[in-house]
Structures are given as structure tokens and as C-alpha cells.
């Protein structure tokens, strides 16, 4: 970052008493406005005690974190291009088959998803409408050997399934606005640049965007009595982020949304005759939106796999369909970074270049000369890399110095289930995080997510836009960034 020494200190230096007042405002505003998660159940609680509904505030940053406006805008511009890329890749059967044939051999979970893909491909796809509600995540990068250069935007990953926090992210923006106005503790004079005002907190459409995608898909389905289903994990703590989608969908599109686990889906729903309409009793399901089904733990038995197949075979619009789901794997991300691959799917040279500019180094770890060279590079210089399996939800990656031990213990075949990625090094800032009612001050880094809305039918694109943003902030010394996984807090960008 540039030299900030001439600027006012940020966050503003408040007294203990002021910080405490700010925290009380933050926590109570969060509780009053549904910026909440279910409280963890204590292990000693009786069944009667556990049945009492209990919530706690979502973990949040006390102050919005400064973020370069130019790079924020760059991420917004990229989103429709990524949406288009995902759909074009998902419709390329030859490409997906080639990638997944080899990945399925080394990764059971992806292999089982791919079995579903193959099954419906053979049988014939019963729904041509694709609904994508993605989130592309970025870190800013400053090279370790050139700390004074301007940061650049680098993509961490692109999520095509269960992209969470669109509702709570929006509420965090509202919280920061409220705190700024109500307390005056971070007035304009204390913002990181003299010409910055609170208008630097950008509008966020994210609380409406997922509902918009589901609502517009429901309209295309053209069955006025049909409902939407959200596939949820049993015991989900992040239930209110999801409930806000349900409420917005009902308020704005008059569409009821049911929450079902995969096991409940199998138990309660079936296909109706040759039309393959997905029915729950007499109620038809128009859209199935997954907030579960991305991790092996979501499939404890064959029942859940049967439910996933049932949905995929049906006429319901799935978000994501199995092809979009597979395009979200880290392996596809790595392959798309190879020379000429983005260009295979995005013909416009400028668009392809813009996408590429957000990629960091991505390498295969397979049994090819390139794979061996990447493994050698990681063993010699592990601090420069992150190793990633085909998993979602946080907590799965292997970082820096942990890489050699893992790599050496793996056969070359096993390595193929992972990809290698350059370590992105975001600039560090100071902020204060509020978690379980306590303040944690320290050096932090932020990860920006941009939601993407895509809705298409046989080459006709009905929706292709960005759907608002998410900023997650974590302690600078923590590798991972998930909020639900307990590493990060919800934040909002203060554009500088």
C-alpha cells in the first residue's frame, strides 16, 4: 500500500469506554436486525434447554475495512464474465468429461457427483434452464519482494454452490452505516483519507440478489402454484442468512420456500410420471436451491446420494445443476488458468484478458512433466504456495511449510486430487473484530466476494449480473478465511 503516515489513524484511536459503547451498539443492533446465527448448543444442555431457541450476533468487524475502490470496481466488472465462463464450461460435455474422468479416479466425492452428471447426461437433461448463484472470492496481492507496489486483485476461488452470507453481508453494511452515524466515533476526520466520506460504504444489493435469482427462475418455470426448496444441513447455525432469502422471496415474488434436508427430500418427494415433475404431495417444486450437498459430510448415507440424483433427474430448476457444481471444483479453476483455455470459452479477447488478469499461478500436481515440476517447486519453496483438495466450506487447505510433509507422504496418484496455487499476500490493516461479545484487536486481512446471478435457457440469457458483495476479515496470521468455519468475521468495504 502507499505510505499512510500523513493520514489520520484508522481505525480511530478510541478509549476503552468508547470502544465498549461501540461494541454494545454493534451487538444490540445485530440482535435487533437479524444479523444473527443460532447460538452453539452447550454440551451439557438438557433436551428441554436445547429446545429453547437461542441466537447470538454474527461475528463482525467493528469498523469497515479500507479497500481500494479501483479494485473493488474491477471485481464487479469481472462478475458477469465469470458467470458466462461458468455456463460455457458447464455446457461443454467433452471438456467436463475429460477433466472429470481423471479426477474421479483420485477423488471419490467428486467421482460420485460425476456419476450423477453422467447418468443424467445419458438419460437426457429434463430442464434446460440454468440458474447460477455464484460468488467469486478475491484477495489483494502485494509481492513479498516489492512491498511498496500497488496491490492487485487475485481470485481465490469461484463458488458455484451454496455461496453464503449474502444476507448477513448486507446487514453488516447497514450496521456500519448505523454505527458511523449514531456514535460519531468514526467521523469523516478519522477516515483513512481526508477526502473520504461515509459515501465510501458502497450500496450492497446482496440481501435481495439470491431471492431475485430464485424468483426469476420460478417465473420461467411457469407453474403458479409451485414452490421453491432450499436444501439445508440438519442443525444449520447460519439459518438466518438463509431465512432472509426465504422472506425476500416471499415478499417480492410471493413464492413460498421450504427447507428440506437431503434425507427429507428423499423421504417426502418423488418424480411425477414421465414429466419428471418434482412433487411433494400435490405441491410441485419449481426451484431447488442448495445450501448443503457440497461436502462429503452432507452425504452420510446412500439416502442423500439418492436425493441428489432424484433432484438432478427432475424437471425442477436446480441451483446449481450438476454441471455448474462440477465447474466450481478447484481442478477446473486450475485447468482454466492454462494457456488458451479461457479463450476456448470466452471468445472476446478483451474479456478473456480481463479474467486472466485476476488469476494467480495455478499448477497441476499430476503425473505429467508439468505436475512433477510443480511438486518439485513446492518442495523447494513451500512458503510460496497453498495446496488445495477438491473441497468446499473452509479448513481443507495445506499451507506453506506443511506442504512438503503432505506431498512426500502421497503417491503421485494421490497428489492428482490436489492443485497447487501461489500464495496470495494481502496487505495488512488494523481492525477490531467482535466475536461472542468480545473485542479482538489486531492485524487483519480481508477477502472480497462478489455474488453473481446467472439465469439462462437454451442460449437465451435472462440474467447475468453481479449480485452485491461480501467482505470477510480475519486475523492476518490465520491462513483460512471462513466465517462459518470460525476463522473470519463479516465486514464491509470502505472504498479508498
- Which of 287, 342, 310 lies closest to 116, judged by CA? 310
Residue placing its CB nearer to ligand ADP in the complex, 247 or 487: 487
Tell whether 132 is in a known binding site.
Answer: no
Distance between CA atoms of 457 and 288, rounded to whole angstroms? 16
Tell me: does residue 155 bind Mg ion (CB under 5 A).
Answer: no
- Taken in order 327, 333, 334, 336, the sign of the CA dihedral is positive
Q: Which does 326 bind (CB under 5 to 8 A by kind): Mg ion, ligand ADP, none?
A: none
Strand pairing category for 129-141 and 152-159: antiparallel
Cα atoms found within 13 Å of the Cα of residue 446, Cβ hemisphere only: 29
Q: Binding string to Mg ion for residues 392 to 431, with x set by CB under 5 A, is what?
A: x---------------------------------------
Asked whether position 156 contacts ligand ADP by CB under 6 A, the answer is yes
Beta carbons within 8 Å of 220's beta carbon, 6+ residues apart: 129, 317, 455, 457, 462
Using CB under 6 A as the binding rule, whether residue 428 contacts ligand ADP is answered as no
Active site residue 135: yes
392 binds ligand ADP (CB under 6 A): yes
| 209: phi then psi, degrees, rounded to nearest 5 | -70, -40
* Cβ proximity of 264 and 229 under 8 Å: no
Q: Is 388 a catalytic residue?
A: yes
- As beta bridge partners, residue 387 has 398, 420
Task: Give the Cα separation of 77 and 52 in Å (integer).
Answer: 45
Cβ contact 74:450 at 8 Å: no
- Residue 303 marked ligand-binding: no
We find the least distance from the C-beta atom of residue 426 to ligand ADP, in angstroms, to be 8
449 is catalytic: no
Q: Which residues of 425-456 are buried (b: 16+ CB within 10 A; e: fewer)?
A: bbbbbebbbbeeeeeeeeebbbbbbbbbbbbb
Tell me how far the alpha carbon of residue 389 is from its chain's centroid: 16
Task: Specify the stretch interacting with Mg ion by CB under 5 A; choose among 239-247, 368-376, 386-394, 488-496.
Answer: 386-394
49 is catalytic: no
> Which one, of 487, 490, 472, lies nearest residue 396 by Cα?
487
Residue nearest to ligand ADP (CB): 481
Q: 238, 164 in Cβ contact below 8 A? A: yes
Options 1, 303, 480, 495; binder of ligand ADP; rule CB under 6 A: 480
The bridge status of strand 418-422 relative to strand 362-364 is antiparallel
Collapsing DSSP to helix, strand or coil, 64 comes out as: coil
Per the annotation, does 69 bind a ligand? no
Among 423, 439, 461, 476, binds ligand ADP (CB under 6 A): 423
Closest CB to ligand ADP among residues 4, 360:
360
Residues 157-176 that bind Mg ion (CB under 5 A): 157, 159
Active-site residue flag, 272: no
> For residue 82, which of 458, 450, 475 has the smallest C-alpha distance?
450
Residue 421 binding result from ligand ADP, Mg ion, none, given CB thresholds of 5 to 8 Å by partner type? ligand ADP
Q: How far is the CB of 163 from Mg ion (least distance, A)?
A: 8
Cross-strand pairs, 435: 438
3-state class (DSSP) for residue 491: strand
Tell which one of 126, 187, 205, 397 touches ligand ADP (CB under 6 A): 397
Q: Which of the residues 208, 308, 330, 351 is marked catalytic?
A: 330
User: How far is the C-alpha of 301 from the C-alpha of 478, rounded, in Å?
Assistant: 33
Annotation marks residue 164 as catalytic: yes
389 annotated as a binding-site residue? yes
Please pick, from the candidates 133, 200, 346, 421, the single residue that binds ligand ADP as defined by CB under 6 A. Answer: 421
Phi, psi of 348, deg, nearest 5: -70, 115
CB of 78 to Mg ion, least distance (A): 16
Is 159 assigned a catalytic role?
yes
Residue with cell 507496489: 149
Q: What residues numbered 157-186 form the site for ligand ADP, per CB under 6 A?
A: 157
Residue 440 among known ligand-binding residues: no
Judged by CB under 6 A, the residue of 8, 12, 371, 393 near ligand ADP is 393
When asked if residue 424 is in the footprint of ligand ADP (CB under 6 A), the reply is yes
Find out whether 381 is annotated in a ligand binding site: no
50 is catalytic: no
Of 394, 400, 404, 427, the residue at the interface with ligand ADP (CB under 6 A) is: 394
Active site residue 69: no
Query: Which of these segments, 181-189, 223-231, 364-372, 480-488, binds ligand ADP (CB under 6 A)?
Result: 480-488
Catalytic residue of the set 164, 167, 416, 466: 164
Residue that is written with C-alpha cell 499430476 in the block? 366
Options 65, 83, 130, 159, the catalytic residue: 159
Q: Which residues of 329-343 are buried (b: 16+ CB within 10 A; e: fewer)?
A: bbbbbbbbbeeebbe
Provide Rg for the chain, Cα atoms.
23
Interface region with Mg ion, contact rule CB under 5 A, candidates 126-134, 255-263, 338-346, 388-396: 388-396
> Residues annotated in the binding site for substrate, as ranges?
135, 161-164, 236-238, 242, 291-294, 472, 483-484
> Residues annotated in the binding site for Mg(2+), as ranges?
157, 159, 392
The residues carrying an active-site annotation are 135, 157, 159, 164, 330, 388, 392-393, 472
Interface residue list for ligand ADP (CB under 6 A): 137, 139, 156-157, 386, 388, 391-394, 396-397, 421-424, 447, 479-482
Amino acid at each position: 500500500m502507499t505510505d499512510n503516515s500523513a493520514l489520520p489513524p484508522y481505525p480511530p484511536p478510541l478509549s476503552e469506554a468508547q470502544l465498549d459503547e461501540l461494541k454494545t451498539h454493534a451487538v444490540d443492533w445485530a440482535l435487533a436486525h437479524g444479523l444473527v446465527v443460532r447460538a452453539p448448543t452447550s454440551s451439557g444442555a438438557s433436551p428441554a434447554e436445547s429446545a429453547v431457541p437461542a441466537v447470538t450476533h454474527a461475528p463482525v468487524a467493528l469498523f469497515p475495512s479500507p479497500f481500494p475502490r479501483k479494485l473493488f470496481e474491477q471485481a464487479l466488472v469481472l462478475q458477469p464474465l465469470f458467470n458466462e465462463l461458468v455456463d460455457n464450461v458447464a455446457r461443454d460435455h467433452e471438456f467436463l468429461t475429460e477433466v472429470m474422468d481423471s479426477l474421479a479416479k483420485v477423488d471419490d466425492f467428486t467421482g460420485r457427483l460425476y456419476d450423477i452428471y453422467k447418468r443424467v447426461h445419458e438419460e437426457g437433461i429434463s430442464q434446460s434452464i440454468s440458474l447460477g448463484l455464484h460468488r467469486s472470492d478475491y484477495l489483494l496481492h502485494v509481492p513479498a519482494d516489492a512491498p511498496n507496489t500497488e496491490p492487485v486483485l487475485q481470485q481465490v476461488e469461484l463458488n458455484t454452490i451454496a455461496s453464503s452470507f449474502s444476507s448477513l453481508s448486507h446487514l453488516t453494511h447497514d450496521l456500519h452505516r448505523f454505527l458511523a452515524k449514531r456514535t460519531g466515533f468514526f467521523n469523516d476526520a478519522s477516515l483513512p483519507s481526508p477526502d473520504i466520506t461515509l459515501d465510501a460504504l458502497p450500496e450492497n444489493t446482496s440481501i435481495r440478489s439470491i431471492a431475485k435469482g430464485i424468483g426469476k427462475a420460478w417465473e420461467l418455470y411457469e407453474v403458479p402454484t409451485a414452490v421453491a426448496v432450499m436444501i439445508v444441513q440438519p442443525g444449520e447455525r447460519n439459518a438466518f442468512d438463509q431465512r432472509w432469502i426465504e422472506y425476500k422471496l416471499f415478499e417480492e415474488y410471493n413464492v413460498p420456500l421450504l427447507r428440506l434436508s437431503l434425507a427429507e427430500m428423499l423421504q417426502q418427494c418423488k418424480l411425477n410420471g414421465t414429466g419428471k415433475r418434482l412433487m411433494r404431495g400435490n405441491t410441485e417444486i419449481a426451484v431447488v436451491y442448495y445450501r448443503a450437498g457440497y461436502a462429503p459430510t452432507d452425504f452420510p448415507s446412500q439416502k442423500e446420494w439418492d436425493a441428489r440424483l432424484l433432484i438432478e433427474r427432475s424437471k425442477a430448476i436446480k441451483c446449481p445443476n450438476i454441471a455448474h457444481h462440477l465447474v466450481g471444483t478447484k481442478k477446473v479453476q486450475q485447468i482454466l488458468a492454462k494457456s488458451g483455455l479461457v479463450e476456448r470459452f470466452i471468445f472476446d479477447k478483451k474479456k478473456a484478458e480481463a479474467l486472466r488478469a485476476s488469476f494467480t499461478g495455478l499448477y497441476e500436481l499430476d503425473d505429467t512433466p508439468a505436475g512433477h515440476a510443480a511438486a518439485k517447486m513446492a518442495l523447494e519453496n513451500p512458503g510460496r504456495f497453498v495446496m488445495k483438495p477438491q473441497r468446499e466450506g473452509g479448513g481443507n487447505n495445506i499451507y506453506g511449510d506443511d506442504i512438503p510433509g503432505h506431498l512426500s507422504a502421497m503417491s503421485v496418484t494421490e497428489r492428482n486430487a490436489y492443485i497447487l496455487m501461489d500464495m496470495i499476500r494481502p496487505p495488512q490493516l488494523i481492525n477490531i473484530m467482535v466475536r461472542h461479545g468480545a473485542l479482538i484487536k489486531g492485524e487483519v486481512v480481508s477477502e472480497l466476494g462478489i455474488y453473481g446471478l446467472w439465469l439462462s435457457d437454451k442460449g437465451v440469457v435472462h440474467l447475468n449480473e453481479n449480485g452485491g458483495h461480501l467482505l470477510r476479515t480475519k486475523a492476518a496470521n490465520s491462513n483460512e478465511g471462513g466465517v462459518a468455519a470460525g476463522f473470519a468475521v463479516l465486514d464491509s468495504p470502505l472504498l479508498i
